[in-house]
Amino acid sequence: MAFAKKEDECGFNGDGTSTYSGVRGITKLLIDGNHAAGNVAAAAGHNTFLTLDNTDLTNLMGTAPAFALPGARWFVSQRGYATAFCRLAATAGGIVNKYVNGVLMPTFSRFPPRR
């Protein structure tokens, strides 16, 4: 569990220092100015899980290259999954379950969460 936690910290928040074993995480890469294609802003005022809407999420999905879609996942905390994804899905008929590699998983807009 400790290894997985450290791996997540490095992969998402790593700043390239020894604290993160030299890893630069996705959140740092998206704001460094060199990786702008994956940097999609939500609408003005949509800065919490409770204010994100379907347009914000589909705009993000629209920037993913087609070759990446088969392995695409939503990386989201339990809180984000519940307060954004489940909230939005509830207004559109709920979370859809489908088999992913033989395991029944909840999905949002076809992609399973990676929690």
pLDDT (tens, 9 = 90+) of the chain, 115 residues, equals: 999 999 999 999 999 999 999 999 988 888 887 877 777 889 999 999 999 999 999 998 888 888 988 888 888 888 998 999 889 988 876 677 778 788 888 877 767 766 5
Sketch the domain layout of the chain as residue ranges: 1-39, 46-115
Q: Give the model's pLDDT for residue 93.
A: 66
Tell me how far apart the alpha carbons of residues 59 and 81 are, in angstroms, rounded to a whole number. Answer: 18
Tell me how far apart the alpha carbons of residues 33 and 28 are, in angstroms, rounded to a whole number. Answer: 10
Q: Is 6 left (phi over 0), alpha (psi -120 to 50) or beta?
A: alpha
What's this model's pTM, rounded to 2 decimal places? Answer: 0.68
